[in-house]
Structure 1
């Protein structure tokens, strides 16, 4: 049985970041990944807060160095479109300190860049490995039963285990930690396109979020890349999709019901087969347990509307690693007080704004014609990923502040 200080499940952003940080600290780290990289994934519009954690893990340079060659697009904000009303937020003009720009990335390339950079720092990564069973109650260490692509089974042991498996949610399934999300079941249909956009009003440095012309709970993402391609998707409650139609037909049917977006994409050409993802919102009873912790989407995923997924993944990795190091050194960290509760504070901030997006309150704010610069900067900070900055009033009291702001916006209209 091979022994490692830490075994990480999943070589995506959270796994690569945690692995690199642990390896920097001199730990023997193994990352096991079920798939083979590169592989397709959504979650392509990063938030500036991500860059802080990539820098801490020594991964930012690799991303910067390979951005142009992989079509990564410089990003400085988010644009919104609703019935021909356009507005935008500049992430460099924000309330919270920290990076104000980032990239829109093709995740197949991005995730491989991070994993390769982590491997260069000493993280051992094994692809094509499935975790079949874990024993978290074995004496002194955790035992994992795994198998490779050839069906060969073997055991690993670890002083600690981190789950960065994303939507695979390995430990929540194996340890019966899953808990139903309180979000409605929504579906996304998406593909990559060659966008062929010539409209001068379209800013390739920003993600474009468009609201359906007549259904305010239906929205579209358009994430441009620097090589003239883009990621395009629609998100709605499951019942708004026609089960008799393909993912592509559902996507374009909704687009054609939204004239401003249909006009923008009039010359677009799909370059891969459209896919659908249903019921992606997820939660767990606990983010930690005996010698293990859950990172990013393996723990909780809200919704793609504000691109929070990778930010939460990287933030969770950066928060978990110091506690792992202390535990390996013989201490007894309070994982609930030092990891779960502070991580969930930021997630709950995102939750408030995601919920308010779908019930219309945040859309009333986003599309208000009246803006106050200081408040705009505070909202911009949250959209840029700084959902843990308690000095921001809209983070400290998100529900109350948002409700008051919405009323002010309605009164001003």
Structure 2
């Protein structure tokens, strides 16, 4: 049977944050953009606490008003708790010494079903064609790549494009179809999570403008997230190695409640929470990597390429950065310039990812926790670390970006003395 054939300039697989922002940026260049999204929006997704760096990409894509007017929960920082110790980072600290420092110091905490839909509708408003419920079945990379897709009614068709951007997230379409997947060097961790109606008292001291990250009272490599939303609910989850999570029996809800119950602070904070808002979900072995972030006629965006860990909420920021870099490369391509995708896309993207990676490794080993809970904190060092926590992991002027491994190791040693 001969399948119908279509053509577009840029085909994007996935309408999540990376796909929608890439589409909006490309539409600003005048490109013809088609997005194929397997799901129907709105749909649930995890990764709900944004970083201020994300706002720059949203603004550059022309989607800032869409996001601001959606009414999401304002966020200005992160609070860390372990036992009786607590420390807070206000992302606006990065401006304390230099009021003219570029970038944002605040952002939002979002329910991703709504947030992703806002971005997708914004990309449509800017002229991107978006098809929900359309699944990509196969991909032929090359100078003129092709995909075979299936519409909701079961009809299959072929799309030929100048270039394909895989923004399929955890589905990791091209890595699976093209055998690009590579093992992550992180242990097999998992997350169990849900949304609850938190009913946290106003006099509890809980700051709804910050994500709360709580370390397990006995296990330095087990932690909880509490992300408040603007509607009185919060996202609640625990992250640990699979061997730890497997100790707990019962339903996913019973397991999550049992682990949360081991922390006195969270137990007290969520004493009045209602747990019947949403089913409890889990993701296991989420860390991923690929052999290459690009190939003939395609590039991988966001989680389709690499996912580290949720501890510093870096996922959406990395997705947006990949969208920005890819759109810039395509702008040069359509201007008739030769594009080196390794040098101009993969290497810059992985530079910031490596900065986040070193901080994630230090967190689970306990070193970074010693740093943030240390009683004596030098203001300039704190400000530079705060900048990275705010998502500015590509700012080479920051010594903790330019020389992450050595500087973080020295600081760990000092704070361990």
TM-score after normalising by structure 2 = 0.95
How far apart are the structure 2 equivalents of 1:150 and 1:236? Answer: 41
| Residue number among 213, 225, 239 corresponding to 1:221 in the alignment | 225
Q: Deviations over 1:61-119 (max 9, x none)?
A: 1010112xxxx210000000100211100101116631000000000000000000110
Q: Secondary structure at the match of 1:134?
A: strand
- Counterpart of 2:379 in structure 1 is 373
For residues 186 and 152 of structure 2, the distance between their equivalents in structure 1, rounded to whole angstroms, comes to 36
2:406 to 391, 400, 403: 400
- SS of match in other structure, 2:36: strand
1:326 offset after TM fit, Å? 2.2
Q: Given the alignment, which residue of 21, 36, 59 partners 2:63?
A: 59
Deviation at 1:244, TM superposition (A): 3.7
Structure 1: 5+ residue stretches without partners: none
For residue 201 of structure 1, report the CA deviation from its aligned partner. Answer: 1.6
Instruction: Please say if residues 181 and 282 of structure 1, whose CA atoms lie closer than 8 Å, have aligned partners that are also in contact.
Output: yes
Q: Distance in 2 between matches of 1:154 and 1:217?
A: 47
Of 9, 19, 40 in structure 2, the residue corresponding to residue 5 of structure 1 is 9
1:84 aligns with 2:84: yes
SS in 1 for 2:230: coil
Q: Which residue is equivalent to 1:141?
A: 144
How far 1:251 sits from its partner (Å)? 1.1
Matched residue, 1:107: 112
Please say if residues 204 and 269 of structure 2, whose CA atoms lie closer than 8 Å, have aligned partners that are also in contact: no
TM-score, normalised via structure 1 length: 0.96
The one of 128, 136, 139 equivalent to 2:133 is 128
Point out 4+ residue stretches in structure 1 off by more than 4 angstroms: none
- Which residue is equivalent to 2:305? 299
Q: Is the 8 A contact 1:145 1:155 kept in 2?
A: yes
For 2:216 and 2:401, how far apart are their aligned partners in 1?
Answer: 28
CA contact (8 A) 1:159 1:328 kept: no
Matches within 5 A, 1:167-316: 167-198=170-201, 199-242=203-246, 244-270=249-275, 271-316=277-322
Match of residue 155, structure 1, among 141, 144, 158? 158
Of 19, 24, 38, 1:20 maps to 24
Contact 2:182 2:289 in 1 (8 A): yes
Counterparts of 2:287 and 2:151, CA distance in 1: 29
Displacement, 1:245? Answer: 2.3
CA distance in 1 between counterparts of 2:52 and 2:127 reads 27
Unaligned runs of 5+ in 2: 96-100
Q: How well do the aligned residues superpose, as a CA RMSD in angstroms?
A: 1.1
Q: Would you say the 8 A contact 2:148–2:159 is kept in 1?
A: yes
Greater Cα offset, 88-97 or 314-323: 88-97
